[in-house]
Structure 1
């Protein structure tokens, strides 16, 4: 499996690996953007195990992943599946490194190039927000809030990207995100479901991401289904083993 699939799988995994905080019901009908208090998760260490089903125009791949996160520091993922057995990923404040221990090679991605590729500002804090199910963009005075039948709709913009957040009015948790890049009309939709309690946190054990993007041969669609079998907020310090051997070739 090539590095493009690995990178897309990692980013999709992070989008779907969304952890959310338990909240009390809020039932008033407001349109004041300053009162929309979307609940965000806070923790020190997180760990989980999940199954991923990745499909695009040419591939249908199933994989297992172990995930560990230390807040504001590092995200560690270990993959196992046919084609990517022994793959590991380390995401820190500076870059994303993916190591394939079967092919004995590794890839390093910097955030500037990724931001240009996806036409969206990508950095560690953006990825961590995806991993936690928190808002991708910070709140601002230009945000627009409206009430629909089942959701509060929070609309945000950054450069050419429009982000629509769907917030459950009873839990004040983010349940769906739609992103559209206007010039290209590339888009991504993330949906979270099957929420279960982990200590004081509600965690979506199932998720779906759909990415529609343009390439030379037209618009392509990638769909990733995600299901957790285990997720924990950890009290103890976790380890993040990642050491690229000198004999590995950088691609």
Structure 2
């Protein structure tokens, strides 16, 4: 009886391993150029986005269970209204040239460049990177590089052929819809590592959009995590972007 049980365990273990290998082998062996082309074809192509979000942030401060309303005009403006328990607590307005922010609890404000966003996210960001993060796109264009391709865990893994002395970047791409599922950027010189994990994609009005994303930024000084989940996503609807910093707010000074 014991020999029979042992034999069954071996058979199931072998079958399990074989199944895993077959699932990877069943993914077409595409060139990096073909994968990048399919990823580009799957790029988000709507003009505006309106969505609700739940956010958990942990960095220099911990802000669990924050809600936010997102409004975006692609390549033009990103607007966020933050609330806690239904009460508005902060607003953020981002354009390609400027970041504006104010929060009501401490009565502080900011008007300037992307230092504030980079400070929150734990690594350097600009408008395009922030926009791509919200839209589920690679934060750096895949078309700017050439890659070595492998298939691991039923995903295409793309690693740059050119070893950049400043940073290394790696992408994991879904073999069905060809969206980036995960990306890692490591800055060896600054000892920083950024990981973005998208929580799958679903089709809304014939467009693929992430269900949410998790950002993890690690440096010598700190670790920052931002966990975002989307709700009530709409595209191409009329939008307003009300924003006015109240008088008497103290301006945040960043180095």
Q: Which residue of 1 aligns with 2:29?
A: 29
Q: Kindly indicate which of the two structures has a greater share of residues assigned to helix.
A: 2
Give the CA deviation at 1:158: 6.4
> CA distance change for structure 1 residues 127 and 158 in 2, over 3 Å: closer, same or farther?
farther
Equivalent residue, structure 2, for 1:184: 190
TM-score (norm 1): 0.75
1:90-169 to structure 2, matched below 5 A, reads 90-111=93-114, 120=124, 122-140=125-143, 142-149=145-152, 150-156=154-160, 160-169=166-175
Query: Residue in 1 aligned with 2:18?
Result: none
Question: Shift of the alpha carbon at 1:240?
Answer: 0.6
Runs of 4+ in 1 over 4 A off after TM superposition: 112-120, 156-159
How big is each residue's C-alpha offset from its partner over 1:109-157, in whole Å with a ceiling of 9 and x where there is no partner?
414787799664x322222122211122223464213021322222347
Q: What does residue 229 of structure 1 align with?
A: 231
Query: Secondary structure of the residue that 1:172 maps to in structure 2?
Result: coil
2:62 to 56, 59, 62: 59
* Bigger relative contact order, structure 1 or 2 (CA pairs below 8 A, ≥6 apart): 1
The RMSD of aligned alpha carbons is 2.9
- Matched position secondary structure for 1:244: coil
Which consecutive unaligned segments of at least 5 residues does structure 2 have? 1-25
Residue correspondences, number: 219
| Contact 2:198-2:213 at 8 Å conserved across structures | yes
Q: CA deviation at 1:75?
A: 0.1
Secondary structure of the structure 1 residue equivalent to 2:220: strand
Instruction: Report the TM-score, using the length of structure 2 for normalisation.
Output: 0.74
